[in-house]
Amino acid sequence: MSKNTGIVKDRRYLRHGSEFTHPETPQRLVSIYEMLDNPDMAWKFTGIDARHATREELERVHRSSYIDFIAQTAGKAMTMLDPDTVATAETYDTARLAAGGVMNAIDSVVSGETDNAFALVRPPGHHAQAAEAAGFCIFNNIAIGARHALSRWGMERILIVDWDLHHGNGTAETFYEDRQVLYFSTHQSPGYPGTGGLAETGRGPGLGYTINVPLRPGADDAFYVRVFRELLRPVAREFRPEIILVSAGFDIYIGDPLGEMKVTPEGFACLTRILLNLADECCNGRMVIVLEGGYNIQGLTRSVRAVLLELLGETRVTEETLSRMAADTDETCDRLIGRVREKISPFWPVF
């Protein structure tokens, strides 16, 4: 059955960082937007407008002094925020649009205007902490979106799945003591930013609601599918989220210059299908995907297209395909899954 899939797409997202060479280039979205403008794709999606996040919305995640600091970069040619992260003249405006676009995508799905949505925004967000820009990220789009869903829609259980190459330390920190948001991250380890160890499982009331799956370089489609099916799926079914939010980093693509993972466009479709099935089971299909990393532009575009076709229901990975793929792993995967289960089983008796 085909779905009504919403897209946040706005050329103002191209304004941030257009003046210098950087992996997180506007060309990432230019290529995706060109793919979406093709006659075979253009008519398939429902447009969702971008908007600027308000000060109050930003302050649900970020300190007021930090927002002021980013605001002061407006109009300045270049401000180094950290060794990897630069603000240019339009960055403050664009980063507010990114967070606002994610919130509009959530509103569209929760209100029933769309079945699911993909916010194709930049700059990315999952490394941004309460008072710190990092890893190309300015404001934490997905964390702001989650807090918006809790506040505006009165939600009590939100699942954030982060499949980016890098651990979303900003998102993890935001919800580390919060049992309303379950954060599940797969990421290359060792690697930037150095967080996301197995022992990091939350604190206080949030204990058990952070699940980290650190992966050695070289994890492929089968490895990821098995981790999602055998670790994420049983916990998500127990948690029963009211919406699933996805930090979708495409830097786990097999040819990404910043990573050493081996996920193909077909693999991204498989992960999307696993999450869609969970969303259908738990929350009336409500799922919003948010663009994070991904720096091989051709691979990024092909992979985003594969995800979109799965969201639409034009392609549909079967359970048989997923089972066959999951069987194609070795004892390295067995050991990792065993270690993660051991760590989280005190909180999740499904194992």
Q: Which of 127, 148, 167, 187 is catalytic?
A: 127
The encoded tokens of residue 250 equal: 């495409």
The yes-or-no answer on residue 127 being catalytic is: yes
Is residue 303 within 8 A of residue 293, CB to CB? The reply is no
Of 245, 193, 185, nearest in space to 215 by CA: 185
d(CA 340, CA 344): 6
Amino acid at 77: A
Contact 244, 84 (CB under 8 A): no
Pair of tokens at residue 313 = 């229901």
CA-CA distance, 190 to 214, in Å (whole number)?
8
DSSP string over 158-186: EEEEE-SSS--HHHHHHTTT-TTEEEEEE
SS3 277: helix
Residue 76: left if φ>0, alpha if ψ -120 to 50, beta else—which one? beta
Residues 188, 223: contact at Cβ < 8 Å?
A: no
Q: Residue 9 carries which DSSP code?
A: -
The Cα 65–Cα 127 span in angstroms is 18
Q: Who's near 111: CB < 8 A, 6+ residues apart?
A: none
Which positions are catalytic? 127
